[in-house]
Amino acid sequence: MGNLIATRPPQPWTAPTASDPVEATLRLPGSKSMTARALVLSALASGPSTLAGPLRARDTELMAAGLRAMGAHMSISDDERWLVRPHPLVGPAHVDVGLAGTVMRFVPPVAGLADGRITFDGDPQARTRPLGPLIGALRSLGARVDAPATGSLPLTVLGTGRVTGGEVVIDASASSQLVSGLLLAAPRFDRGVVVRHVGPPVPSAPHLRMTVQMLRAAGAAVDDGTPDVWVVEPGPLTGRGWEIEPDLSGAVPFFAAALVTGGEVTLQGWPRSSAQPVEQLRSLLQRMGGEVTLSTAGLTVRGTGVVHGLDADLSDVSELTPALTALAMLADSPSRFTGVGHIRGHETDRLTALAREFAALGADITESPDGLEIRPRPLHGGVFETYHDHRMAHAAAVAGLAVPGIELSDVACTSKTMPEFPALWSAMVTGKS
């Protein structure tokens, strides 16, 4: 299990309760996953790139700052359009990873390509997140990495301006980011990379497909035709314009509000062809009682006010677990979620945290090693600890739609991926958008 670290600010935020069906049309910030990958690929490209509609949040600003510290030129003052101009990467530099898995797993492989000493550290909780497989892989590919025996932060990459690359075996069952981090930098390795995963299944497969898709869009030659093997050939990356999609994971609490209240929520700006797992989300929300449609207006979810329980393997879409757990609390039948044991190593141990906080509100919820079982019954208000975890805050907000008096200990943690969340959520529930 991961560590649960709780800090309670003096003024909790009370989640608004919906008295009517929500009716909202929203334009949400860009995808964190796409923004992070575009920043890395742009910093390693042979020419300038632009990011249209990027996510401005703590995680992506830390990513930009880390790459800038090593020499990449980042112009991110315009919220709608960021400009990245690649430049030779050099140390000494320090990268603050905060609590961002993308920064702690995507930037160390880039640091191996820098000429100089690059140090990494972050929030106290970041030192509990698993990096051992990545550290071992980088060492076997020719990078010099100094790190604790625990395989965690703080660590130092002693870059020489090049990484040999080649074949590496890794157990990425804790996070698909361990593979994505290697693949994103691999075109710049002397020999590219062949990554072979051994161990339990890699979670969040759609994120790996996004990595491969974006690498190809930047001109990289990638072969992912063999299960659990990824081959990236050495070669230049092309600077380009990136169109960042709205963040699907961040939209899920808002879509959940449509199901809970029998309302309708539309996410504007949704592309016809998406790099995110929209079909998996569509299936899950439909099974829970929603109607999901894609039109020129955007991605729309409608609810009836009745939520159904479900039995689902969420291994591909584990980021959705907290919001779906909140929905399951309000369902008309039990639910069982499996395949998400790896989220114990996210911002907090999400399975234990969800079970603990919802139980404190009267829920009948049981942890298993890789999931949760929920048997709905009436909940009551109370303080809901968020553990510095934006997804925990989202879960509490969803439950608060139907349960008066749920107070989030720290709604500000949503700034990790969506600083606008409290204002957008309150405007949606009150209808004063």
Averaged pLDDT for residues 235-246: 97
Do the beta carbons of residue 396 and residue 350 sit within 8 Å?
A: no
Residue type, 405: G
Is 68 assigned a ligand-binding role in the annotation? no
For residue 32, the model assigns a pLDDT of 93
Averaged pLDDT for residues 249-265: 96
Inter-residue long-range contacts of 221-225, CB under 8 Å, 24+ positions, other chains counted: 222/183
Cα 173–chain centre separation: 16
Q: What is the mean pLDDT of the chain?
A: 94
For residue 11, the model assigns a pLDDT of 66
Q: Is the pLDDT of residue 142 over 70?
A: yes
- Is 319 annotated as catalytic? yes
For residue 382, the model assigns a pLDDT of 97
> Residues in the chain, how many?
433
170 or 10, higher pLDDT: 170
Q: Is the pLDDT of residue 146 over 60?
A: yes
Q: Is the pLDDT of residue 37 over 80?
A: yes
Q: Which CATH architecture has domain 32-243?
A: Alpha-beta prism (3.65)
Percent of the chain residues past pLDDT 90, beyond the cut: 86
Is 144 assigned a ligand-binding role in the annotation? no
Is 129 assigned a ligand-binding role in the annotation? yes
SS3 82: strand
| Annotated catalytic residue, options 80, 167, 243, 319 | 319
Averaged pLDDT for residues 226-251: 96
> Which pair of tokens denotes residue 118?
């690059």
For residue 433, the model assigns a pLDDT of 52
- Angle among Cα 359, 363, 366 to the nearest 5 degrees reads 70
- In tens, the pLDDT along 17-34 reads 999 999 999 999 999 999
Averaged pLDDT for residues 246-258: 95
Residue 391: how many other CB atoms lie within 10 Å: 31
CATH of 13-29+246-430, one of 3.40.50.720, 3.65.10.10, 3.30.230.70, 3.30.460.80: 3.65.10.10
Q: Is the pLDDT of residue 181 over 50?
A: yes
Do the beta carbons of residue 374 and residue 328 sit within 8 Å?
A: yes
Cα 324 from Cα 327, distance rounded (Å)? 5
Cα 199 from Cα 15, distance rounded (Å)? 41
Q: What is the pTM of this model?
A: 0.89
Measured CA to CA in angstroms, residue 407 lies from 21, 123, 134, 321 at distances of 21, 24, 38, 20
CATH 3.65.10.10 residue window(s) in the chain: 13-29+246-430, 32-243
For residue 5, the model assigns a pLDDT of 44
Is 33 assigned a ligand-binding role in the annotation? yes
Averaged pLDDT for residues 10-21: 88
37 or 12, higher pLDDT: 37
